[in-house]
Amino acid sequence: MQTPADFLARWHYAGLFLVILVEEAGVPLPVPGDLFIAAMGVLAQSGGAGFAPTAAVVTAATVIGATVLYLVSRHAGRPLLVRIGRRFGYTEAREQRLEAWLLRGGATAVVVGRLVPGLRIVMTVVAGALRLPHRTFAAGTLVAGALWATLYFWLGYGLGAGWQRLAGRVSPEALWIVAALAIALAAAVLARRARARRSAAAAASVSAPLDPGS
């Protein structure tokens, strides 16, 4: 089985574009796109990749792939939202809060939601099912795609620096396991912080005094 770096060393930017495009269109992959972006950062250590083309490829594939899923979700509506969302922890308890947040926040909510681990694909389906204006969705997805590419490319670049120092002493398979664990840990921390912020916001809305005129 090839590592993401092995795959990209062969297929390079075309391979990266295809992986991100397919994942953003809602097709489950055995290896998340995050690791492929990080792999480009690792390849950059030896001059095999660059940040600017990587960011451009990831952002373009993100916008195109997400637009496909957005349009499908816009046509299919809530049944698709429920079917796909359940796989990503989109429970009924979260449904109303996420939908209200998306409609209220617009493009900003799309950016934030797509950067929260586990919400990237769900956010696309929710936006389509709720018929969020495509211009708003595309703008938020464009910014989120660029930030996503930047974050994981430079994370991979840092891991690649460590890879170079450990070359010959630790097997590549072990280093990829460490990289996957590091990314998983970072994702867990971000998800926990996002849940804490949502809980705090929900508590504040519950405790807010009612409008006497309502």
**pLDDT for position 210:** 43
Q: What percent of the chain stands above pLDDT 70? A: 64
Q: Is the pLDDT of residue 147 over 90?
A: yes
Mean pLDDT computed over every residue of the chain? 77
| Euclidean distance between CA atoms 179 and 76, whole angstroms | 37
Dump the DSSP string for 7-19.
Answer: HHHHHHHHHHHHH
| Euclidean distance between CA atoms 30 and 166, whole angstroms | 27
- Contact between 95 and 103 (Cβ < 8 Å): no
pLDDT category at 55 given cuts 50, 70, 90 is: very high
Distance of CA 45 to the CA centre of its chain: 24
Going by C-alpha positions, the residue among 212, 210, 199 that lies closest to residue 94 is: 199
Mean pLDDT value of segment 183-191: 63
| Six token digits for residue 8 | 């990209």
| CA angle, residues 90, 92, 97, in degrees to nearest 5 | 80
Mean pLDDT value of segment 190-205: 57
- Contact between 137 and 110 (Cβ < 8 Å): yes
- Give the total residue count for the chain: 214
Residue extents of the structural domains in the chain = 4-205
Q: What are phi and psi of 207, to 5 degrees?
A: -80, -10
| Euclidean distance between CA atoms 147 and 150, whole angstroms | 5
